[in-house]
């Protein structure tokens, strides 16, 4: 009996704002514990929250980028539960059954597959428990009150494999980065993903019992975790065991999941509207202003690179991996660089040099002008591909324009027909026996003669021209 895997994805993204969600404390990562706290984010009695407008705008932009409908009126609720990382005894969130800021959207992958989005809402992050080596535990409230966006996929799920889940997460992360709303650093926890996984017999109309997976700190962990969890469930069902709804943790080292707790139910949280916070209202003019400010998103860029420029999926994916990298590519092409050539330089030599020097594109001396210049020198036959590599290395190290380097070093390729012809004739005279062999049908000696001519020209003669002129002279 075959099984169908269904995966729902709950993603939490910490928003890039100067201050926290409901107070003026800085929103930052790291630093000394409990140094970015105030009465509001510590939940001291009498303190009042104030909504961070930048965070609301970030969520609105994300909801629009994910093709969501936008609520005209949206409320904050208190989600009540008792845990030490939550100083107020409740988390300010948006209740599932009411209008979140964005709902009924989708994320389209470059393959054309659409992943339905159920809701995009705004809440606040909790503090962090720290377990010290000596057995004591402490709490860091620096993260408490940091604006957090939750993005939940549709039900029933559109995702049916670990690979699809990974792709969804990759494109969602890139979308957030392009929007400038989240830095997408999974290893720092600013982007967190909790998939829920269920299996059902093929053809079955209902979905099976789901488990939620936590502690997935990387794309690899997400893909592996989902795959292993589906396999674990299939094996359990095959043994006749009954699956139960639960939350499981992912052990990255052992590559297996372990039980954490049986899932709490919604009613445990006693949601109610936060009386200290007014409803958020979204006017059409504001929605349209934000919509018009959206950048070109990764899926659209991927599609443009493959369909308009004929780049491979692989190349397009490398180019869009970072906004600055994609912008560099576009700038080069706008300066007349042939897209395929620009792409090959970027994903090849340029990426390698940046990697080896431990720098990023924005710190590099190479600008789009440099690369467009290099590509033009090669395509017009002024320098050979081999010379171009050397020129590019010098340009990378010094910031000089490729054209200037080629001129200074006399690297420019010899494409002057008459100059090459002179060398060709001299070489044929010096190698009369080889010329004779060629004329008697042993055309294999041509390569030897081409080599001689290029050698005579100190490596500068355009090989294609050498070839043509040699044949011309040999036939004379
Ligand atoms: Zn605060």
Residue 225 CA to ligand 1 centre (angstroms): 35
- In the sheet with 191-201, reading across from the earlier edge strand, the strands are 69-70, 102-108, 114-124, 147-153, 3-14, 191-201, 211-214, 246-251, 256-262
The Å distance, Cα 22 to ligand 1 centre, comes to: 7
Quickly count: other Cβ atoms within 10 Å of residue 106's Cβ: 16
Give the per-residue pLDDT at 360: 93
User: 40, 236 in Cβ contact below 8 A?
Assistant: no
Question: Are 363 and 222 part of one and the same domain?
Answer: no
Looking at the structure, tell me whether residues 322 and 455 fall in a common domain: no
pLDDT, tens only, 2-22: 889 999 999 999 999 999 999
Per the omega criterion (within 30 degrees of 0), is the bond before 325 cis? Answer: no
Q: Which of 366, 369, 368 is nearest to 396 (CA)?
A: 366
CA of 47 to the centre of ligand 1 (A): 10
| Final residue of a structural domain among 230, 254, 287 | 287
Number of residues assigned to the chain? 476
d(CA 138, CA 416): 76
Distance 316 CA to ligand 1 centre (A): 42
Q: What is the CA radius of gyration of the chain?
A: 31
**Dist. CA 59 → ligand 1 center (Å):** 21
H/E element holding 239? none
d(CA 143, CA 167): 28
Residue 102 pLDDT grade (very low, low, confident, very high; cuts 50, 70, 90): very high
pLDDT of residue 281: 96
Q: Domain check: are 23 and 85 in the same one?
A: yes
* 438, 377: one domain: no
> How far, in Å, from the CA of 298 to the mean position of ligand 1?
34
| 88 has a pLDDT exceeding 60 | yes
Q: What are the Cα distances from residue 127, in Å, to 49, 50, 141, 194?
A: 17, 19, 4, 18
Residue 148 dihedral angles phi and psi, to the nearest 5°: -130, 135
Cα separation of 266 and 47, whole Å?
Answer: 27
Centre of ligand 1 from the C-alpha of residue 26, in Å: 8
Rounded distance from Cα 83 to ligand 1 centre (Å): 19
According to DSSP, the β-strands at 246-251 and 211-214 are: parallel
Is the confidence at residue 74, as pLDDT, over 90?
Answer: yes
Give distance in angstroms: CA of 149 to centre of ligand 1. Answer: 18
39 and 180 in a single domain? The answer is: yes
Q: Are the C-beta atoms of 417 and 469 separated by less than 8 Å?
A: yes
pLDDT 10s digits, 27-44: 999 899 999 999 999 999
Above pLDDT 70, what percent of the chain?
Answer: 98
Q: Examine the pLDDT at 315 and tell me if it is beyond 70.
A: yes
Specify the CATH number for the domain of residue 464: 1.10.10.410
For the entire predicted model, the pTM comes to 0.86
Reported as a single tens digit per residue, the pLDDT across 369-425 is 999 999 998 888 788 888 899 999 999 999 999 999 988 877 666 777 888 888 899
Q: How far is the CA of 271 from the centre of ligand 1 (A)?
A: 23
Residues 309, 333, single domain; the answer is: yes
Strands 147-153 and 3-14: antiparallel
Judgement on whether residues 75 and 33 belong to the same structural domain of the protein: yes
Which residue among 254, 287, 320 closes a domain?
A: 287
Residue 327 burial (C-beta neighbours within 10 Å; 0-12, 13-18, 19+): middle
Give the distance (Å) from ligand 1 centre to CA of residue 191: 21
Q: Are strands 280-281 and 246-251 parallel, antiparallel or unpaired?
A: unpaired
- Both 13 and 119 in a single domain? yes
Quote the domain boundaries for residue 324: 296-408
CA distances from 48 to 23, 38, 122, 126 (A): 9, 11, 18, 17
Query: What is the spatial distance between Cα 298 and Cα 295, in angstroms, rounded to a whole number?
Result: 9
Query: How remote is the CA of residue 23 from the centroid of ligand 1, in Å?
Result: 5
Residue 165 binned pLDDT confidence (cut-offs 50, 70, 90): very high
Please tell me the distance between residue 91's alpha carbon and the centre of ligand 1 in angstroms: 14
Q: How far is the CA of 36 from the centre of ligand 1 (A)?
A: 7
State the DSSP H helix or E strand holding residue 12, giving kind and residue range, or none if neither: strand 3-14
pLDDT bin (cut points 50, 70, 90) of residue 263 is low
Which residues, in sequence order, are bridge partners of residue 214? 249
The predicted-structure confidence for 180-213, as pLDDT tens digits, reads as follows 999 999 999 999 999 999 999 888 888 888 899 9
Question: Cα 81–83–85 angle (5° rounding)?
Answer: 120
From the CA of 24, how far away is ligand 1's center (Å)? 6
> Residue 353, SS3?
helix
Same domain, 80 and 117: yes
Question: What is residue 324's predicted lDDT score, i.e. its pLDDT?
Answer: 96
Rounded CA-CA distance 400/395 in Å is 5
For tokens 């490398």, the residue is: 318
Residue at which a domain ends, from 408, 439, 461 = 408
Report CA(21)–ligand 1 centroid distance (Å). 9
Long-range contacts of 391-397 (CB under 8 A, 24+ apart): 392/345, 392/349, 392/350, 392/353, 393/349, 393/353, 395/365, 395/366, 395/370, 396/350, 396/353, 396/357, 396/364, 396/365, 396/366, 397/365
Centroid of ligand 1 to alpha carbon of 17 (angstroms)? 13
Both 155 and 210 in one domain: the answer is yes
Ligand 1 centroid distance, CA of 44 (Å): 10
Q: How many angstroms is it from 46 CA to the middle of ligand 1? A: 14
φ and ψ at residue 182, rounded to 5 degrees: -150, 145
CA 88–ligand 1 middle distance (angstroms) = 12
Looking at the structure, tell me whether residues 353 and 264 fall in a common domain: no
Cα(37) to centroid(ligand 1), Å: 4
Mean of pLDDT values over 52-67 = 98
CA of 141 to the centre of ligand 1 (A): 9
Half-sphere exposure at residue 407, Cβ-oriented, CA atoms within 13 angstroms: 6
Question: Alpha-carbon distance 53 to 453, whole Å?
Answer: 71
Domains of the chain: total? 3
Residue 224 predicted with pLDDT over 80:
yes
For residue 287, give the H/E element and its range: helix 284-292
* Of 376, 313, 303, the residue nearest 345 (C-alpha): 376
Pair 52, 125 in one domain: yes
Find the 431 Cα to ligand 1 centroid distance in Å: 86
pLDDT in tens, 103-113: 999 999 999 99
**Cα 393 to averaged position of ligand 1 atoms, centre (Å):** 50
Q: Which residues surround ligand 1, an ion (CB under 5 A)?
A: 23, 25, 38, 40-41
């Amino acid at each position: 009996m075959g099984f169908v895997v269904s995966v729902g994805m709950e993603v939490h993204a910490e928003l890039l704002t100067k201050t926290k969600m409901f107070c003026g404390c800085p929103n930052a990562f790291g630093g000394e514990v409990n140094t970015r706290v105030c009465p509001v984010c510590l939940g001291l009695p009498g303190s009042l929250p104030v909504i961070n407008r930048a965070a609301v705008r970030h969520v609105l932009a994300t909801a629009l980028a994910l093709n969501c409908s936008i609520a005209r009126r949206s409320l904050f609720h208190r989600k009540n539960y008792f845990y030490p990382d939550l100083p107020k005894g409740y988390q300010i969130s948006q209740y599932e059954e009411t209008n979140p800021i964005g709902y009924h959207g989708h994320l389209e992958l470059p393959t054309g597959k659409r992943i339905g989005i159920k809701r995009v809402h705004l809440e606040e992050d909790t503090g962090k428990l720290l377990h010290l080596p000596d057995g004591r535990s402490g709490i860091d409230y620096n993260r408490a009150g940091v604006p957090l966006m939750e993005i939940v996929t549709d039900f029933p799920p559109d995702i049916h494999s670990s690979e699809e889940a990974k792709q969804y997460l990759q494109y969602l992360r890139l979308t957030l980065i392009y929007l400038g709303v989240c830095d997408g650093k999974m290893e720092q926890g600013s982007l967190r993903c909790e998939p829920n996984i269920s299996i059902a017999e093929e053809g079955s109309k209902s979905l099976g019992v789901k488990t939620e997976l936590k502690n997935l700190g990387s794309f690899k962990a997400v893909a592996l975790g989902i795959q292993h969890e589906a396999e674990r469930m299939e094996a359990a069902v095959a043994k006749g065991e009954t699956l139960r709804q639960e939350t499981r943790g992912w052990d990255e080292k052992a590559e297996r999941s372990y039980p954490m707790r049986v899932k709490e139910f919604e009613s445990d949280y006693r949601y109610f509207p936060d009386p200290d916070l007014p409803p958020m209202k979204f006017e059409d003019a504001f929605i349209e202003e934000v919509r018009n400010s959206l950048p070109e998103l990764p899926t659209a860029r991927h599609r443009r690179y493959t369909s308009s420029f004929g780049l491979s999926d692989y190349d397009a994916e490398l180019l869009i991996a970072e906004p600055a990298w994609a912008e560099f590519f576009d700038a080069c092409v706008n300066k007349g660089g042939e897209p395929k050539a620009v792409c090959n330089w970027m994903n090849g030599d340029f990426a390698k040099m940046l990697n080896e020097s431990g720098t990023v594109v924005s710190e590099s001396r190479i600008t789009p002008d440099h690369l467009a210049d290099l590509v033009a020198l090669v395509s017009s036959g002024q320098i050979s591909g081999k010379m171009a590599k050397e020129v590019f290395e010098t340009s990378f190290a010094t910031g000089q324009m490729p054209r200037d380097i080629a001129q200074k070093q006399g690297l420019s390729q010899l494409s002057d027909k008459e100059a090459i012809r002179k060398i060709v004739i001299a070489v044929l005279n010096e190698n009369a026996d080889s010329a004779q062999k060629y004329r008697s049908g042993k055309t294999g000696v041509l390569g030897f003669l081409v080599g001689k001519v290029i050698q005579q020209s100190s490596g500068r003669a355009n090989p294609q021209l050498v070839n043509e002129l040699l044949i011309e002279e040999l036939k004379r």
